[in-house]
Amino acid sequence: QVQLVESGGGLVKPGGSLRLSCAASGFTFSDYYMSWIRQAPGKGLEWVSYISSLSTYTNYADSVRGRFTISRDNAKNSLFLQMNSLRAEDTAVYYCARGDMNAFDIWGQGTMVTVSS
Amino acid sequence: IVLTQSPGTLSLSPGERATLSCRASQSVSSSYLAWYQQKPGQAPRLLIYGTSSRATGIPDRFSGSGSGTDFTVTISRLEPEDFAVYYCQHYGSSPTFGGGTKVEI
């Protein structure tokens, strides 16, 4: 079935780095834009970044631009988010999501990132 | 584009009708307005895309409407599983989400 599975979350100190991964299955990964979306504890949803199907286009929220880098490996059906210079306010559940029909139609279960000393 | 949802919390009983609103800070194309449902501890689920099209598997008690800056999702008769948080979202070059409406019993 169509599925997205995130991994790579954990506890990291302020200023540290973390790399998230998202494994896709059940669909032709290379046909779709993919995004990362996060949700701080008890808060709403915040779009973080997207990447086009062939990695031609990327975009970032202002809150992460210059610190986070999105990438993908279509041969391995995988999406990545490299997070550098992490701050306490980056603490959140990070979801990967597929873009289709001008919406996010498939979501992973999320991976928790905690930035704390 | 900033999306403002109202009310913040809606307290209703099963069987009642729920109307959730989403107002955009400027006019948006109806093709790019979506709604999601999120239950505690779960990922969001797509409910409505393109303002009024139901996603796969979404029951017909959910309907969406609107244009320009004002959009609405209506749940005709609340079922116990519908009590959750609902988010509207604009799928633009920098996607944005509304702050959410909690539908509680």
Q: Which residues contact B68 (CB under 8 A, 6 or more apart)?
A: B24, B27, B28
- Minimal CA–CA distance to B62: which of B49, B70, B73, B46? B73
Q: Find the range with the poorest average confidence among A45-54, A100-109, B48-57, B69-78.
A: A100-109
Report the pLDDT value the prediction gives residue B95, as an integer from 0 to 100. Answer: 94
Counting residues of chain A whose pLDDT is more than 70, the rounded percentage is 100
pLDDT tens-digit readout, A9-44? 999 999 999 999 999 999 999 999 999 999 999 999
Nearest by CB to residue A102, choosing from B31, B36, B98, is: B31
State which residues of chain B have pLDDT below 50. none
Report the pLDDT value the prediction gives residue A100, as an integer from 0 to 100. Answer: 82
- Straight-line distance from the first to the last Cα atom of chain B, in angstroms, rounded to the nearest whole number: 31
Q: Positive or negative CA dihedral for A23, A98, B25, A66?
A: positive
Q: Do B44 and A45 touch (CB under 8 A)?
A: yes
- By the 8 A CB rule, do B49 and A102 touch? yes
Report the pLDDT value the prediction gives residue A101, as an integer from 0 to 100. Answer: 74
Report the pLDDT value the prediction gives residue A102, as an integer from 0 to 100. Answer: 87
Q: Do B49 and A47 touch (CB under 8 A)?
A: no
Taking an 8 Å Cβ-Cβ cutoff, which residues of chain A contact chain B? Answer: 35, 44-47, 50, 59, 61, 95, 99, 101-110
Integer Cα distance of A34 and A1 in angstroms: 18
